[in-house]
Amino acid sequence: MRNTACLSKVCAVGLALSLALSPSITHAADPDPASARRKISPARSPSVSPATIAPSSANELTSPNRQWQVSQTSDAEQALQFTSADGQTHWAVAHPAQQNIGRTGLHLLQWSPDSQHVYVAERLLENTCAPFPMDINLYVVEVGTRQISTVLAGVGTSLTLSPDSKRLLYVAFNGRGMIIRNLEDGNEAPINAPYEGPRLKPLGNVVWSPDGQEAVFAAANNPCTPDMTFEIVWLNVRNLRRRTLLVGDTYQMRPSVWQTNNRVALRDKDGRTWLMNPRTGQLVESR
C-alpha cells in the first residue's frame, strides 16, 4: 500500500502536520474581529450535562433515503455490513488493505446525498501521541455494485468530506499544511503555506457547515506534553480566509458537529459538550 512508510513514522507524522494560523483578517464574511481569539483559562471544571449532538453513531450510518444501514463489524476482518430497511437483504465488504489489519480499521464518514455511495476512512489504531484521529486513506463503497474502491491514499490525514461529498479537506504529509481537494476533477488548493519553527501545529477534527461554505477545526499547541492546549480555527471555504476563535484551551475542545442552528458543538477531553458561535467565537456550556 502506498502509505506504508507513513505508518511506521506515525508519531513524527502527527507532529509534522502543520497550519500557519494567520492574524486577524478584516473581511465582510469573516467573524466579528472584536470577539475573535477568545482565550479561556478556567480555574475549575464546569458542571455540564452532556448533550446528544450527533445524528447517528460513528459505527453506524443510515442512508439519506432510509433504505440502507451500514455498520462496522467488530471482528478481525473489519468488514462493513449493509442491511436493507426491511431487514431482508444483507451484504458486506471487507477491509481493502488486508496487510494493515490489526493496526488500521475502517471508520465510517458519511453517505453521499443520493444514497448511492458510502465514504469510509482507514484509521490508524496504533497508540501514538498524535492529538487527533489518524484517518489516512479514503475509500468509497458503491451500493449498486457492492464494491469498495480507493479515492485517495497516502497523501495525508484528518480526512473530512463536504456535505455534498464533492470536496475533501485534509492535512497533507511532509509539512504542506491543510489542503482542499475537488474530488471530481482532482484540483487542489493549499489553505496555507508550509510553516517552520515553534508554530508547527498538529490539527484535526474538521467539521463543515451544512451549506459547505465554512469549516472549523482544532489545532494543538505543545502536543504530546502535559502543557498541551488547543485552538479553534474558523475557515471560509469560499475564499480560504481563516481566523482563530479560541486560544489557550486547557479543556482541549474538539469540534464535533456543525448544528443547523449555526452553532458548533465541541467535546472536551472529559466528554463535556460546549457550543460555539462560529461567527463571533462566543462559547457557552451546553446543559
Q: How far apart are CA 188 and CA 180, in angstroms?
A: 6
Dihedral of CA 240/211/169/286: which sign?
positive
Main-chain dihedrals φ then ψ at residue 120, nearest 5 degrees? -135, 140
pLDDT in tens, 23-66: 332 333 344 443 344 444 333 333 333 333 333 345 899 999 99
Q: How many CB atoms lie within 10 A of CB 59?
A: 13
- Of the two residues 48 and 166, the one the predictor is more confident about is 166
Q: How far apart are CA 17 and CA 12, in angstroms?
A: 9
Q: Give pLDDT, residue 287.
A: 61
Lowest mean pLDDT among 105-109, 146-150, 283-287: 283-287
With 60 as the cut, is the pLDDT of residue 263 above it? yes
Q: Give pLDDT, residue 209.
A: 96
Main-chain dihedrals φ then ψ at residue 34, nearest 5 degrees? -70, -25
> Whole-prediction pTM value?
0.76
Cell match 501514538: residue? Answer: 128
With 60 as the cut, is the pLDDT of residue 155 above it? yes
Q: How many CB atoms lie within 10 A of CB 226?
A: 5
Average pLDDT, the chain: 76
CA-CA distances (angstroms) from residue 44 to 39, 173, 176? 15, 37, 38
Main-chain dihedrals φ then ψ at residue 6, nearest 5 degrees? -65, -35
Q: How would you list the strands of the sheet with 177-182, edge to edge? A: 156-161, 167-172, 177-182, 188-190
User: Where do the domains of the chain lie, and which CATH numbers do they carry?
Assistant: 4-285 (2.120.10)
Q: How many CB atoms lie within 10 A of CB 23?
A: 7
Residue 157 CB partners (closer than 8 Å, separation 6+) = 13, 14, 17, 132, 134, 135, 136, 170, 171, 173, 204
pLDDT in tens, 76-103: 567 899 999 999 999 999 887 755 555 7
Q: Give pLDDT, residue 41.
A: 39
Amino acid, single-letter form, for residue 276: M
